C-alpha cells in the first residue's frame, strides 16, 4: 500500500501510496513534529490576510502550534472585531492589510476570491523579494485575466488547500486529529517553496497532504462544491423530499427518509468504512435497490457534471463568483438567499427533527 524512501543525499522521508493502482506522494504530520516545525519558521513572521472561514481557523491553529502569527484585516470591520475576540492585539498581532503584508515574511492570502482581486493593488507592493505568497484556493492565479492577480517573479508562491470548511479545520485540530489537504507550488524563487508548503500545511492543521497543481485544485474544488459536496446534494435532497410530499407522505417521514437517515446513519458509515461496507451492512432489499439504481443516477447526472466542468474550465463560473461576491450589496443579497433557503419546508422540518434527537433533549 505504501513505500518510504529517501532521495540520494537527503534525510527527508518521502512516502508513496498506492491509490487504486496509481502511486501518489503524500506528506504526513508525523514527519513534522512541533519542535521541527517551530525551528523551520523560527525567524519568520507569518501574516494571515483575512479572517473569514479559513483565515480564523488557519491562524489560530498555527498560533497554537507556536508560530509567530499576525493577522491583517480591514480596520473596524466585522473581521476586526472577531479577531479581537480571539485574542489578537492591535499593533502587536493585529494590523490592517497593508501593514500586515509589509511585516510578513510569509503572506497567507485567505481573503475571499472577490476580495483578493479588490485588495491586490494594496498587497502587491509589499511582496518584496524572498517572501512567500500563500493561497488556499488557486482561482486568483489560474484566471488572471479575470482577477488581475500576477505575483512578482522574485517571491515563492504556494498553495495549501484544506479539504473542508474553516470550522472543520479548527475543530479537527482541537480534537488532535487533522484535515486532509492538497499542496502545490506555483513559483519557486528561493528553492525552498515545496518544503515551505509542506511545513505550512502541517502548521495550519493538516493530517496528511497530497500533491496537486493550482489548476487542478481549482477545477476539482469548484466542481465538488457545486456537485456532490453541496450543490447536487442540496438539489437531490429537495427533489426527493418534494416528491414524497407530493405523494402524500408526512413532513417528518419525508425528511427522515431523505436527510436524517443519510446524515445520521449512512454518511458516517461511508466516511468510516466506505461505500461497499454500507452496501453490505444494509438490508438485502436496500442493497438490491441501491446497486440497481446507482448506475441510473450516474447516467442521469453525468451530463450535468460534464456541463459543470466545462463552465468551470472556461471561466464562466469564476466570473459569476467574482461578479456576485464583488457587489457592494453582497452581504445583503446573500442574507436574503440564505433566509429563503431556510424558509423551504424541508429545512424548517429539519429544525424540528434535530430538536427531537435525544442528545438535544437534555
Q: Under a CB-based contact definition with an 8 Å cutoff, are residues 201 and 39 in contact?
A: no
How far is Cα 191 from Cα 71, in angstroms, rounded to an integer?
Answer: 26
In the chain, the DSSP E strands lie at 2-5, 14-19, 22-28, 46-49, 69-72, 94-95, 106-109, 132-135, 156-162, 179-187, 206-211
Distance of alpha carbon 198 from its chain centroid, rounded? 16
Q: Under a CB-based contact definition with an 8 Å cutoff, are residues 91 and 84 in contact?
A: no
Would you give the DSSP letter of residue 88? -
Q: Is 42 a catalytic residue?
A: no
Distance of alpha carbon 69 from its chain centroid, rounded? 20
CA distances from 130 to 70, 159, 160, 276 (A): 19, 16, 19, 49
Q: Under a CB-based contact definition with an 8 Å cutoff, are residues 77 and 104 in contact?
A: no
CA distances from 114 to 119, 147, 223, 319, 325 (A): 9, 8, 18, 10, 6
Rounded to 10°, the helix 214-226/316-325 angle is 70
Q: Among 137, 194, 249, 273, which one carries the catalytic annotation?
A: 137
Q: Under a CB-based contact definition with an 8 Å cutoff, are residues 182 and 163 in contact?
A: yes
CA-based angle 67:43:204, to the nearest 5? 25
Report the SS3 class of residue 46: strand
Which residues does the annotation mark as catalytic?
137
Amino acid at each position: 500500500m505504501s513505500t518510504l524512501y529517501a532521495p540520494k543525499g537527503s534525510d527527508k522521508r518521502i512516502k508513496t501510496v498506492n491509490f487504486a493502482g496509481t502511486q501518489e506522494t503524500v506528506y504526513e504530520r508525523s514527519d513534522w513534529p512541533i519542535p521541527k516545525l517551530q525551528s523551520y519558521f523560527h525567524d519568520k513572521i507569518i501574516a494571515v490576510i483575512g479572517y473569514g472561514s479559513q483565515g480564523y481557523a488557519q491562524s489560530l491553529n498555527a498560533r497554537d502550534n507556536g508560530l509567530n502569527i499576525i493577522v491583517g484585516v480591514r480596520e473596524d470591520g466585522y473581521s476586526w472585531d472577531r479577531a479581537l475576540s480571539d485574542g489578537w492585539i492591535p499593533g502587536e498581532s493585529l494590523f490592517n492589510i497593508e501593514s500586515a503584508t509589509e511585516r510578513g515574511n510569509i503572506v497567507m492570502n485567505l481573503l475571499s476570491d472577490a476580495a483578493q482581486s479588490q485588495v491586490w493593488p494594496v498587497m502587491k507592493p509589499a511582496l518584496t523579494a524572498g517572501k512567500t505568497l500563500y493561497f488556499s484556493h488557486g482561482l486568483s492565479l489560474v484566471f488572471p485575466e479575470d482577477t488581475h492577480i500576477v505575483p512578482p517573479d522574485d517571491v515563492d508562491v504556494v498553495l495549501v488547500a484544506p479539504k473542508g470548511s474553516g470550522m472543520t479545520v479548527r475543530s479537527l485540530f482541537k480534537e488532535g486529529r487533522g484535515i486532509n489537504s492538497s499542496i502545490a507550488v506555483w513559483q519557486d524563487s528561493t528553492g525552498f517553496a515545496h518544503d515551505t508548503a509542506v511545513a505550512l500545511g502541517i502548521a495550519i492543521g493538516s493530517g496528511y497532504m497530497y500533491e496537486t497543481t493550482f489548476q487542478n485544485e481549482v477545477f476539482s474544488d469548484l466542481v465538488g462544491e457545486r456537485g456532490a459536496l453541496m450543490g447536487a446534494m442540496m438539489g437531490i435532497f429537495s427533489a426527493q423530499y418534494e416528491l414524497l410530499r407530493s405523494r402524500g407522505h408526512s413532513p417528518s417521514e419525508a425528511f427522515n427518509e431523505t436527510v436524517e437517515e443519510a446524515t445520521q446513519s449512512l454518511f458516517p458509515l461511508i466516511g468510516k468504512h466506505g461505500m461497499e461496507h454500507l452496501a453490505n451492512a444494509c438490508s438485502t432489499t436496500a442493497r438490491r435497490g441501491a446497486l440497481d439504481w446507482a448506475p441510473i443516477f450516474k447516467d442521469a447526472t453525468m451530463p450535468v457534471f460534464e456541463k459543470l466542468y466545462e463552465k468551470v474550465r472556461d471561466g464562466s463560473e469564476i466570473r459569476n463568483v467574482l461578479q456576485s461576491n464583488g457587489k457592494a450589496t453582497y452581504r445583503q443579497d446573500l442574507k436574503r438567499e440564505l433566509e429563503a433557503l431556510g424558509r423551504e419546508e424541508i429545512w424548517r422540518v429539519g429544525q424540528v427533527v434535530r430538536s427531537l434527537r435525544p442528545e438535544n433533549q437534555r
